[in-house]
Structure 1
Amino acid sequence: MTQAARPLAAVSLKAYLGHAETARWLAVVRPVAAARPAVEVAVLPQLTSVPEAVAVLGDVCAVGAQSVSVADPGAATGEVPAAVLAELGVRYGEIGHAERRAAGESDDLFAAQARAAVGVGVEPLICVGEDPRTDPVDAAVRCVRQLDAVLAGVAPSVPVVVAYEPVWAIGAEDPAPATHVTEVADRLRRWAQHRGRTVRLLYGGTAGPGTFAALHPHVDGLFLGRRAHDPAALADVLDEMARTVRAGEDS
């Protein structure tokens, strides 16, 4: 992460909240994010709440979509083309989450989603991670294999966000050990440099208060889930991220 770059805190609401609950959450989170401009916040609600999120947060936060369709406008019943996401104001499109892999989606599909997102100006947020638990070297090899497959059709000059989420840490009691994450992150950073890619690297997998301080400067931010669904906990994470980056710049 460059000195001028803000850390990124991306928050997926998954399918935990209904539309009315999401609207209330957005209203509470708006002043939380607005008061902490040192951190970029991106919110990824359910697709049906994307317009609400853009309307409420659009001037203080980025908005993302939890999936990207590969369908073109036309005869594609039930699909929401990537062009519509861009029209709505979506900046980030999540691709390759472990829960989508568990549902049977493949790297070939994720590669098509990445191309569709980039084609309409939506920045891919690509999730990678190993399952089952393994050592950091093998974990990085597995993640690189996923990244090379998903980004095969995306030019190296296109900026992407990569969220390292070890599958065994998603929904666990604690995040993956910092020693494991930092080694994987450093290897992914070297992969990006070798490929000439511009990458912002996040950690996800039971991330919450305390996680960023343990991982910085090896990662550029966090991909948050249920622990950020409490706005007070999200505020704590954003404050910690800002303090950590500021302390690193002052040292």
Structure 2
Amino acid sequence: MTTRSITIGISTKMYLGYRESQVWLGAVAALARACEPVQTGQVKLFVAPTFPVLETTLELTRGTPVQVAAQNASDQDSGALTGEVSPVVLAEMGVELIELGHTERRRQFGESDELVAAKVAAAQRNGLQPLLCVGENARVAPKEAARACLEQIGAANINPHGTEPVIAYEPVWAIGAPQPADPDYVCAVADQLRQELGTETTLLYGGSAGPGLLPRLHPHVDGLFLGRFAHDPRNIALILEEATLLVSMASGSSPATAF
């Protein structure tokens, strides 16, 4: 029986320094090499480091199944755009995913729905997988939250014939909070999203996610998009253990350990 894979993604935002990033990335690569479900593809793992360490990330993860994501990209392929990063260059380097639409980009840098849509188009035409972040601003009923998310997804104008998007559901009010959104709430929103997105779209939960959450959300979501809790590699190891147990249970095999 084919078992649906679990996806674990991690963004370092702008928290880790250069050498600190190297140490962290080395630990992530070691975990990926040691974790059998990551090696077999039952558990997918991607990292989104800060731009200056992207090339280092690609080097440190070479030979592992770890995918590398960028935290942003321009909507233009080239031009007189000082300080911007071309999706063409990212694709040429070996980056596979582009994080787009995050609330911090929207609120702090004024990114509009139109700009997010242009960036999604740029990612797709260059063979990069859009990692589209969506979420409601305040806690509301699950149907209303799902409606807000679907409006953001619709506004992103994803090309159905382009690279498949990954949707990261991140309630804005839960990002950076002491605790994630209530699991029952997340599952209810995720179920509403599934009705519209279908089962093939990879749907992740992000927003103060950490160890102990995945078993409470799966299979309503396909995995987690982690932030600060994953900056400690020990927490990544715990989450990979949880993912390993879930995929082994789903396949009907004996409970397994990740390492």
C-alpha displacement at 1:153, in angstroms? 4.7
Residue 247 (structure 2) aligned to one of 238, 245, 248? 245
C-alpha displacement at 1:77, in angstroms? 1.9
| 1:106 aligned onto 2:112 | yes
Deviations along 1:24-52, whole A, 9 cap, x unmatched? 11112211121124221100000111100
How many corresponding residue pairs?
246
**Separation in 2, partners of 1:62, 1:123:** 11
Deviations along 1:46-100, whole A, 9 cap, x unmatched? 0111100000013221000001211222322222110001011111100011111
**Separation in 1, partners of 2:48, 2:70:** 5
The 3 A distance-change label for structure 1 pair 129 and 89 is same
**Separation in 1, partners of 2:162, 2:55:** 29
Query: Which residue of structure 2 lines up, in the alignment, with residue 77 of structure 1?
Result: 82
Amino acid at match of 1:123: Q
CA contact (8 A) 2:125 2:162 kept: no
Residue 46 (structure 1) aligned to one of 46, 50, 56? 50
| 1:57 aligned onto 2:32 | no
**Separation in 1, partners of 2:158, 2:113:** 12
**Separation in 2, partners of 1:113, 1:58:** 27
CA contact (8 A) 2:3 2:250 kept: no
RMSD: 1.6
Provide TM-score, normalisation by structure 2. 0.91
CA contact (8 A) 1:117 1:124 kept: yes
| 1:165 aligned onto 2:164 | no
Deviations along 1:160-183, whole A, 9 cap, x unmatched? 100000011111111111111111
C-alpha displacement at 1:192, in angstroms? 1.1
SS for the counterpart of 1:250 is coil
Unmatched segments (≥5 aa) in structure 2:
38-42, 254-259
Moved more, 114-123 or 4-13: 4-13
Residue 136 (structure 2) aligned to one of 130, 145, 156? 130
Query: Which residue of structure 2 lines up, in the alignment, with residue 21 of structure 1?
Result: 20
SS for the counterpart of 1:42 is strand
Query: Which residue of structure 2 lines up, in the alignment, with residue 7 of structure 1?
Result: 6
**Separation in 2, partners of 1:84, 1:12:** 20
SS for the counterpart of 2:137 is coil
**Separation in 2, partners of 1:80, 1:5:** 34
CA contact (8 A) 1:165 1:205 kept: yes
C-alpha displacement at 1:6, in angstroms? 2.1
| 1:183 aligned onto 2:188 | yes
SS for the counterpart of 2:251 is helix
Moved over 6 A (4+): none
Moved more, 47-56 or 153-162: 153-162
**Separation in 1, partners of 2:52, 2:184:** 38
Provide TM-score, normalisation by structure 1. 0.94
